[in-house]
Each structure stands twice: as structure tokens, then as C-alpha cells.
Structure 1
Amino acid sequence: MAQAADAEGTVVVTTTAEGGRAGARALATAVRDQLPADRPGVVAVGAESGGGAVIVIAVNTAARTAGQDASTLVKHLLHGRGGGSPELAQGGGLPTGQLADTLAAVPGMFTAG
């Protein structure tokens, strides 16, 4: 089930996808493209893949303008693992049992304190 939050003015959507890494990438970009263009938006999608879990993060243009970088976000979330472009990044090596907690931590990446 998708979760949406307003974290310090950034729209943050987290959810899971079927179809492994490819399914997560497709869903992350589709959801990102539906976010309001005038507000920073970040989408984090997790999926099971190859016996573990992957996270894909997509950011919209407003988020990029505000200084958000998908590659930096995924590396922060996965303790240095992953990479990609400033608009779309992914990382793996996450035990599937940690996927829900990892996605739940995403909105906290945008709050002060």
C-alpha cells in the first residue's frame, strides 16, 4: 500500500512493487510523473529482487531545483550502496525483512532535527 506524506514541504510517496527492479523503476517514474509540478516530490519504491530487496528513488524537477538528488538519497538510505542519476537512482543488497522499515524511514530524511 502506498503511503504519502508532506515532509518539510516535500511530497514523499513510498510503496512497494511487483516485478523486481524493473517493476520498481517503472512504478517510481509513473508516480513521480503524477506529482504536482510546483512542489518538490520524491518517490521511493521497494521490491523483492534476487533473494533480497531493492529501492528505487525518483525525484521531480521541483525537488531537483530544491537540491534533492535521487542518487544521494538512495546512498544515504542504503548506507552508501546504490547510485544512478540525480532524477532516478536505485540500490540493492537489502534483506527483504528490512524493506518496510527502510521505506518507512524515507519521510524522516526530509525533516529537521
Structure 2
Amino acid sequence: MLVAPAGELADTATDAAGVQTVTVTTEGAADDARALAVAVRDRLPGSLPGAVAVGTATGLVIALNPAARQVGLNASALVKQLLGGRGGGSGELAQGGGLAADAITGALASLPALIASR
């Protein structure tokens, strides 16, 4: 499982309009990406809104903490916006896929700006 570096990844969070944001890629499968996203999210400060996006070769997973949900962020909506309507899930955890690796990289790079535009 790929959750070992979760604490280190949480320490790399950057601020996107008051939301602690972590974006990372992994060579793991979708299940590994979900586990990593949740593990990193759970290591972000709970008092601050937090968003974690993990990209794979063809997909993307976003996990939000409760504070991010309280400020109006929705993981499913973010995934759909980043992936052109593809994907879904809950407001807390969502995923999408079926894209080329460069599209995933671009989606990860645009997450902070998307959060800031909310």
C-alpha cells in the first residue's frame, strides 16, 4: 500500500485561497490512489479546509476534509470540473478517469486555481 508517505505529503500542502491543498501522482491503481488520498487528507490539520488530489496514469481521486465541505467544496463537483464532466462520488471523496496522463497532470495543476475561484 502507498500510504507510508502520507505524513510527508501532508507537510507539502500549499494554500489555495485558505484551503490546504496537496496534489501528487502515483503509479498505483485507483484503489491505491483512494487510500493515499484519504491517508493524506486525514493528516492535514482538521481545523483548516483541506483538499487532496492524487493522480494515476489515467485517473484522479479527490478527498476533502470536513472543514473543506463546510466552506462549500464538493469532491464530486471538483472532479467533474477538472475532468470535463467525467467521474463522480460523494462530496467528500470522488474519482474519475479515462484520460491521458498529460490530461491528469494538467488537472492536478489546475486544482488550486479552481479552488481559489469558488
- Normalising by structure 1, we get a TM-score of 0.89
**Could you tell me which amino acid in structure 2 is paired with residue 90 of structure 1?**
Q
Alignment of 1:20-35 (within 5 A): 20-35=29-44
1:112 offset after TM fit, Å?
Answer: 3.9
Structure 2: runs of 5 or more not aligned: 1-8
Correspondence for 1:46: 55
Identify the structure with the greater helix proportion.
2
Partner of 1:105, secondary structure, is: helix
Distance change in 2, residues 1:8/1:36 (3 Å): same
> What is the aligned-residue identity percentage?
54
Task: Report the alpha carbon displacement of residue 19 of structure 1 after superposing the two structures with TM.
Answer: 1.8
**3-state SS of 2:56 partner:** strand
| One-letter amino acid matched to 1:39 | L
TM-score between the two structures when normalised by the length of structure 2:
0.85
After TM superposition, where is structure 1 displaced by more than 6 Å over at least 4 residues in a row?
none
AA in 1 matched with 2:80:
K
| Superposed counterparts of 1:1-113, under 5 Å | 4-48=13-57, 53-112=58-117
- What are the Cα deviations for residues 53-83 of structure 1, in whole angstroms up to 9, with x where unaligned? 1000000000011111100110011011100
RMSD over aligned Cα atoms: 1.5
Q: 1:22-71: CA deviations, max 9, x gaps? A: 111010000000010011000000012xxxx1000000000011111100
In structure 1, runs of 5+ residues without a counterpart are none
* Distance in 1 between residues matched to 2:81 and 2:117, nearest whole Å: 16
Q: Measure, in 2, the Cα distance between the counterparts of 1:97 and 1:109.
A: 18
The structure in which a higher percent of residues are strand is 1
